[in-house]
Amino acid sequence: MRPKERRETGQTDLLRSRLDAIIDMGHPLVKLARTIDWSFLEREFGAVYTDGPGQPPLPTRLMAGLVILKHTYDLSDEVLCERWVENPYYQLFCGEEFFQHRLVFDRSSLTRWRNRMGEERLAALIQESLSVATRTKAIKPSELSRVIVDTTVQPKNVTFPTDAKLLNRAREKLVRLAKLNGVGLRQSYARVGKFALIQHQRYAHAKQFKRANRMLKKLRTYLGRVIRDIGRKIKDDGGSKRGSQSCWRWPGACASRGSISADRRSIPCMRRKSSASAKASAAPESSS
């Protein structure tokens, strides 16, 4: 079943006033609603529906207008529904002619409509927004020939690199690499290493830094034991059966440097103390 699209009828009601008679027609949302080519969106989104039996879906202008308002004002579905009932400009933008005191749709209809359209169909909203910007002379067509995307503040799925996480990750990588190359380790520290990482995070969250540093020292010890164990096994094997030693040079060196740098970073005053002691030891020599 295809949606029953809304058209401006211009009809009046004896007991209700039309929205265009009680609001400011110079409002930005009113101007934007007149500029958008709703028929283009109806054709793009209407291709998803069929002429089969069933309950007709909600009008395209209503759903597309709600999605535009949601992303324009950065609203959640719940807040959007609350503001739609309160704001007559939102209702006019979505095609209403008279003020509605109740929602004419369900909140879950937004999720179902987005899932039904998919990313490819929703790209029509971006296409129409660029077309509106060109028609209103907000941008020039020549400005669309090249798009520059600044990803400086783009959120990325990368965890914050704390010392404990880096030490535990280095141990896990080395253990996995040893298993792939057939190097048998005395102990992988998989269980105790994970437990030490969890304890470190809990102690750090509770601001119990002495206990957290003890867990950090354990993680550094586990990593050092794995590095030394791999080094002994490779040296004894001679690189004949378990692969060349070149595959261990880079990760082993990085893990060693990581453990040393983590040790220094965990004590912020180490650099200052070392530099001060160096200056103090150099002072008698210069005086003599």
Share of the chain above pLDDT 70, in %: 80
| Three-class SS of 76-117 | CHHHHHHHHHHCHHHHHHCCCCECCCCCCCCHHHHHHHHHHH
Q: Token digits for 98?
A: 């008279």
Token pair 């979505």 is found at: 94
User: Residue 98's beta-bridge partner residues?
Assistant: 18
Q: Determine phi and psi for 72, rounding to 5 degrees.
A: -70, -45
Q: Is 189 within 8 Å of 226 (Cβ atoms)?
A: yes
The DSSP letter of residue 155 is: -
- According to the model, what pLDDT value does residue 86 have? 92
Q: Residue type at 72?
A: T
- According to the model, what pLDDT value does residue 254 have? 58
Q: Token digits for 97?
A: 């002619």
- According to the model, what pLDDT value does residue 250 have? 54
- According to the model, what pLDDT value does residue 204 have? 93
- Low-confidence stretches of the chain (pLDDT < 70) are 1, 151, 154, 156, 237-288
Q: Where are the domains of the chain?
A: 19-144, 163-269
- According to the model, what pLDDT value does residue 17 have? 84
Token pair 């253990």 is found at: 175
| Helix ranges (DSSP H) in 104-189 | 107-135, 163-180
- According to the model, what pLDDT value does residue 198 have? 94
d(CA 229, CA 223): 10
- According to the model, what pLDDT value does residue 76 have? 92
Q: Token digits for 93?
A: 């933008």
- According to the model, what pLDDT value does residue 193 have? 94
Give me the long-range contacts of 114-118 (CB less than 8 A, separation at least 24).
114/67, 116/48, 117/45, 117/48
- According to the model, what pLDDT value does residue 256 have? 57
List CB contacts of 159: < 8 A, sequence separation 6 or more.
165
Q: Residue type at 268?
A: P
d(CA 87, CA 100): 10
